[in-house]
Homo-oligomer: A and B are copies of this chain.
Amino acid sequence: HTDATSTNAILRAACTWGNTPDGGMNRLTCNDDDKSVRDWFISETKKYGCFHKIDEMGNIFAIRPGQNNNLPPIAIGSHLDTQPTGGRYDGILGVVCGMELLRVLHTNNITTYAPVAVVDWTNEEGARFPPAMLCSGVYAGEFSTKYAQGRQDADGITLGAELQRIGYMGPTPCSFSENPILAHFEVHIEQGPILDFAEKAVGIVSGVQSIRWSNIEIQGREAHTGSTPMDRRNDALLGAAKMIVETNRIVTETKVGPRGGRATIAVINSSPQSINTISGKVSLGLDIRAPADSDSELIELQCKKSFEKICEEHGLTMSFDNFWVSPAVVFDQIMVECVRRSAAELACDMEIVSGAGHDSVYTSRKVPTAMIFVRCRDGVSHHPSEFSREEDCAAGAEALLGAYLRYDDY
């Protein structure tokens, strides 16, 4: 069995770096705090008998040998990076549960059939270097290493340069075929309200909904705010504002939305940012989700159409770059069954489709994959107030151990 006190102590330790005054975390990929927590992760997992592989994307594999070391390891992965206004659980809890599992194996002198790997996947959030799940994506062959290393943050700094700066661009190829695993488990906070509402500590994740991310560039024309008549303007920010309102309307009021679609614009840059010069250029970041691929496609299509109409009305031009699609995923039936049986021992049986993306989305393309959700208060995440009770975090670790040993046996 796992130990509640130990699990929560590891979790607290994992939150040492990147605290914000409001009780949250800001551990954007490859900032100095991300380096510190990586160093800690390596030194802690060494204590549980692990050796380490660091790949070209900075993914860290802490590997504990098994009885059959010519088998690839069964992996437990998640991420230690956070949003700029992130919490202390999203991603972190998943790595921590893997570490608690290593501790239990080590303390009890258990040697698993296959080796165990606990993985810290780089840049899962995608907050600093979009898209999300970037480095599990490279591992699974969705993106090339070159593409991913070249991704830029808002200041134009590349992920590759930052990995090098913090000393985490490793020698291992970032590739499933050259550094394989047998299967992938992930514990994660739910980030939704279902378990909290049902009063269940953990849940069985049956799959993940589809995601589409796009960049929109709107070109208008700068002009004087005081002397330019209202009907002679090409106001890029007014056009952008109408797009934001329309995006919301499409998923809340039309036939697409009620089927469960979500669409959000949360990144905006306007220029020249002068109070008396009409905006000439705006860029937007659009995030669309839906359980069915066809619905997120349909929402995107409706947004695009309505954006084009807005451009026409205001004499603007637009480019629409759908730079990332993560199709809906259904997890492996045997793995999910292992989770189901393990969760049942904790009197939990809810099955949930994840609203957020996870590294497990990409591992599932290559190996059997399943996830365990942990209840979080009000379903809030990506906010400093994100919170899961100690007993629920411990339940996550316990459900993981049960599922893991079942799969290892199998």
Hey, which bits of chain A sit against chain B, CB under 8 A? Answer: 83-85, 125-127, 130, 132, 154, 190-193, 209, 211, 213, 221-232, 235, 237-238, 240-245, 248, 251-252, 257, 262, 264-268, 270-280, 285, 287, 289, 354-357, 379-384
Known A227-B354, A235-B264; contact A83-B274, beta-carbon cutoff 8 A: yes
- Are A382 and B278 also in contact (CB < 8 A) when A226-B262, A227-B191 are? yes
Whether the pair B132, A276 counts as a contact (CB closer than 8 A) is yes
Q: Which one of B223, B229, B248, B382 lies within 8 Å of A223 (CB-CB)?
A: B382
> How many copies altogether?
2
- 29 A-B contact pairs sorted by A residue (CB < 8 Å): A83-B276, A84-B271, A127-B277, A191-B227, A192-B228, A193-B229, A209-B226, A211-B226, A223-B382, A224-B356, A224-B381, A224-B382, A226-B355, A227-B354, A228-B380, A229-B262, A230-B262, A235-B264, A237-B244, A237-B266, A238-B245, A241-B242, A241-B243, A245-B245, A266-B274, A266-B279, A268-B273, A275-B285, A277-B382
Contact of A267 among B191, B275, B357 (CB under 8 A): B275
Residue in chain B with minimal CB distance to A266: B279
Q: Which residues of B contact A221 (CB under 8 A)?
A: 383
Q: Are A266 and B224 in contact, with the CB atoms below 8 A?
A: no
Q: By the criterion CB–CB under 8 Å, are B267 and A273 in contact?
A: yes
Q: Is the CB of B277 within 8 A of A266?
A: yes
Contact B273 A270 (CB under 8 A): no
* Given A275-B130, A289-B225, A383-B221, CB of A244 within 8 Å of CB of B238: yes
- Residue numbers in B under 8 Å from A230 (CB-CB): 248, 251-252, 257, 262
Instruction: Give the CA-CA distance A392 to B211 in the complex, in Å.
Output: 57
A224-B357 Cα distance, complex, nearest whole Å: 11
A235 to B231, CA, bound (A): 30
A211–B276 Cα distance when bound, in Å, is 11
A276 near B227: Cβ-Cβ < 8 Å:
no
A271 to B268, CA, bound (A): 9
Q: B379 to A85, Cβ gap below 8 A?
A: no
Contact A287 B262 (CB under 8 A): no
The residue from B127, B154, B275 contacting A127, defined by CB atoms under 8 A apart: B275
**Cα(A193)–Cα(B185), bound, Å:** 67
A357: B residues at CB distance < 8 A: 226
* Known pairs A190-B227, A224-B356, A224-B382 / 10 extra A-B pairs, C-beta < 8 Å: A83-B272, A84-B272, A84-B273, A125-B274, A127-B276, A127-B277, A237-B266, A241-B242, A264-B276, A266-B273
Q: Which 10 A-B pairs have the closest CB atoms?
A: A227-B355, A241-B244, A191-B227, A225-B264, A127-B274, A241-B241, A275-B285, A84-B272, A277-B382, A226-B356
